[in-house]
A and B are shown apart, each in its own frame.
Chain A
Amino acid sequence: MDYRKLFDCSIPGESVSAWRAEGKKALGVVCCHVPHEILHAANILPVRLRATGCEDYAEGEVWMSSFSCSFAKSILQFFIEGRYDLDGLICSDGCMQAARIYDNWKWISEKPEAKKQFNYEIGVPRKSSPTTKEFYKEELFDLISEMEKQSGEKVTDEKLIESIELYNESRRLVKKVLELQKEKHPVLTGTEALSLMISSTNMPVEEYIELLRAFLADVTNRKPITDYRARLMLIGSAMDDPNWVKVIEAKGGLFVADTLCHGTMYFGNEMEYDKSDIIGSIADYYLNRLVCPRMIDNRDALHEYILNTAKEYQVDGLVYQKMQNCECWGGENVFLEGELKEVGIPLLNLDREQKMANVGQLEVRAEAFVEMIEKEG
């Protein structure tokens, strides 16, 4: 099977169009807290929205201003341009700028001249406790009935378990791929690894699983990478553009690990479930999965995860990229910088925009960093 689709980091629409051609619905999803398992169980395709390759978000900016994050603006831009071929949008209040994608798109798409579409939003708590879990469960029950209305199919516990198992299988397979990055000479660049994870956003999970299996079956034929100068780990804001990673890798770095919400963190661990409380299990999973600092009570765990992963993957340096105006990922250095210093892991802070700007400057900084940690290593 040709698994090259896993490395296509554009936003290919064929799988989504093929799905919709069968008369089934596909909904855009912003951020990581709308459980895909629920949409899947309703026979709806969740399409995690991204903005890879958006070079001009002028219209998005008209709506969201120059003070907003360009990732969010670019997604809105793609919606305005009709770049996505979808039946609607489901948003969670991941961060407050991502949430405004919903507000703006709802306003625009409800104008009399616009094509009507489905817009829905769920509230997701920002801390994990028995009380917040109960709240989130209620939101999920509402989501289920909305999805049932959309697809006309009943979401049963059996269907949810089937969906969980499928997503768990994709999580297991991605983990296997990521394990390969621990090797002294990995067979995947960071650019390829990120592309492989990002490609999951545009296809049914079943197709993704098949492609991953084909890739893993063929992995021994890949040539190990021996010519890198430093092993890197990538953390920070929404990063859905492997080309940005490529610029740094071209300077001799090799990304072997990440804590990106479009990367490793999106897949997380497998979901454990209690057959007598499937929705409770889904709520637990999404409230406790480490994804980003939107939760107020996960900061220590997130830092611990970063440090442990850096050690496990024998990282020489950490790249912390922050999208301009992204507050969600803006405050980790209050403690993280010191924590990394303690264990002797150098840190490179980089600001960026969604579109590839200042590539020359990025190259210079990447080169200097690689050189510095290479010497230290």
Chain B
Amino acid sequence: MAYIDHSPKVLSGEMSTMDFICTTIESKLDYALEKNPDTRWIYDLQVATWCSIRDAKKNGKKVIAFGGPVPVDLIYAFGCQPYYLDQLPLSLAPTTAVASKYIDLCERYTNQSMCALDKIELGVLLADEYGITPDAFVYSTVPCDSSRIAYPNMQKIWNVPTFTIDTPFRRDERGLRYLAKQTLEFIEFMEELTGTKLDWDKFKETMEVANKTNELLVKCADLRKHTPCPLPGTLCISNACMSGQAADPAMVDFLEKQLETGQMIIDMGLAACPNGEKYRMMFHQNMLWTDPKTYGYLEREYGAVCIMDALGHFWGNYYENMDDKDDCVRILAKKMMDFPMIHGAAGPVDYYRDRIKYLMDNFNINVSVFFGHIGCKHTWASTKILSEYIFENWGIPTLNLDVDCIDGRYKGPDEIRKSIGEYLENVVRL
């Protein structure tokens, strides 16, 4: 079946963003099944995730929209369907015309400099084109100033039961206790919303799944330590959002397949870079959601693979004593602290440095790129510290490259590819 472009319908307002994304990925899956069935696992997960949100109400589940680090595992345990709002801009970003529609609409009310992730999340709501109204909204006070402006406005427009979590600035024992306390309050909120008490056995099932996916995510990340790197940079993109939905059973198949594929590539002596690996790049900010093909291009043309991104990378947190409520709540709190994008960027810069240190020490990196999303101003405000830190400790200079990871109009793929290519050839020169 040929791939069908539904963007005209969403541009005219005839189709909601939910239907647009679901039909687009369904037709991508059909296409993959016809042309290259071996890649179906990549699309299976997207279809499963999006369709389960779209069909949740039909299946008797409440939809809980969420932004930032919140105790998502509990949403699953209450039998509800989480909708991680960042997935929306990430899914729309490759279709520039569609993304622009909502970005422009949002900019009629907000700063142009606001992060485009938030512009899309708010813009789609201003256009009333989510295609779904959540039963509740849960959000935290980070990742950033942009989200802290978008979410309260969205709360007011949706006007559904809302729970907010304040993420502490420092990630210490006090902060952990603070988040644990708020997690207990969240349980009360969910009990009231669903009219049921938290079923600990159901929660245990959820914890098992979350442990499994966390373990797989860490193993997939660890595979990338191998030189040459077996997995392509694009998979960093898909893995970045996963810890937010780690208790979704659909993740297990995807990650097992990813792990298996990576291992197989190593065993076969192959690598992500088809013509040999030269450059092992760490991207220490966002990923290029507007054009995932750039990663493949760099791998092919320059032998340059994105080994890991510092915002998407995460350390697994595992439930150990599943009968001990306090312990489980602490793990939920810890997971919020270690949530991708939050762990490094949304607190004092020391945490960002720790994350980078781990990647530099363990992933055999030889190229450092601050792939800086222009909306992410607080991370930009740490670029010089990070560049100096990397240079002082590993002798590697950093390329600071400004991009808009969501709004493709800011800089096209050719310009981005050229900048990285020139940097590799003229500065890094391996």
> Which B residues are in CB contact (< 8 Å) with A224?
none
A131 at the interface (CB under 8 A from B): yes
Residue from the set B122, B151, B372, B380 with the largest chain A CB neighbour count within 10 Å? B380
B381 touches A121 (CB 8 A): no
Enumerate B97-150 residues with CB–CB distance to A below 8 Å.
109-111, 113-115, 122, 126, 139, 141, 144-146, 148-150
Give the contacting residue for B174; candidates A100, A132, A138, A331; CB below 8 A: A138
> Which A residues are in CB contact (< 8 Å) with B185?
131
A244 at the interface (CB under 8 A from B): no
A102 at the interface (CB under 8 A from B): yes
Task: Give a binary string over A326-353; 1 marks a CB under 8 Å from any B CB, 0 the rest.
Answer: 1110110111010000000000000000
B168 at the interface (CB under 8 A from A): yes
Q: CA separation between A107 and B386, bound complex, in Å?
A: 10
B152 at the interface (CB under 8 A from A): yes
A330 touches B166 (CB 8 A): no
A contacts with B, residue count (CB < 8 A): 46
Q: CA separation between A302 and B175, bound complex, in Å?
A: 28
Enumerate A105-142 residues with CB–CB distance to B below 8 Å.
107, 121, 123-127, 131-132, 135, 138
Q: CA separation between A62 and B383, bound complex, in Å?
A: 9
Residue from the set B122, B146, B151 with the largest chain A CB neighbour count within 10 Å? B146
A299 at the interface (CB under 8 A from B): yes
Q: Interface with B: A11-19, A153-161, A290-298, A354-362, which one? A: A290-298
Enumerate B373-412 residues with CB–CB distance to A below 8 Å.
374, 377-378, 380-385, 388, 400, 402
Closest to A299 in B: B152
B428 at the interface (CB under 8 A from A): no
B164 at the interface (CB under 8 A from A): yes
Beyond A100-B378, A296-B164, A335-B156, is A127–B141 a contact (Cβ under 8 Å)? yes
Closest to B146 in A: A327
B182 at the interface (CB under 8 A from A): yes
Beyond A93-B169, A330-B113, is A102–B178 a contact (Cβ under 8 Å)? no
B349 touches A100 (CB 8 A): yes
Beyond A123-B169, A123-B170, is A104–B148 a contact (Cβ under 8 Å)? no
Enumerate B176-193 residues with CB–CB distance to A below 8 Å.
178, 181-182, 185
> Which B residues are in CB contact (< 8 Å) with A107?
349, 385, 388
B346 at the interface (CB under 8 A from A): yes
A325 at the interface (CB under 8 A from B): yes
B148 touches A294 (CB 8 A): yes
> Which B residues are in CB contact (< 8 Å) with A103?
348-349, 381-382, 385
B interface residues (Cβ-Cβ under 8 A, vs A): 109-111, 113-115, 122, 126, 139, 141, 144-146, 148-153, 156, 164, 166, 168-170, 174-175, 178, 181-182, 185, 346, 348-349, 372, 374, 377-378, 380-385, 388, 400, 402
A interface residues (Cβ-Cβ under 8 A, vs B): 62-65, 67-69, 72, 93, 95-97, 99-100, 102-104, 107, 121, 123-127, 131-132, 135, 138, 293-294, 296-297, 299-300, 322, 324-328, 330-331, 333-335, 337
Given contacts A131-B181, A324-B113, A334-B110, 5 further A-B contacts (CB under 8 A): A67-B377, A93-B169, A123-B175, A135-B178, A328-B148
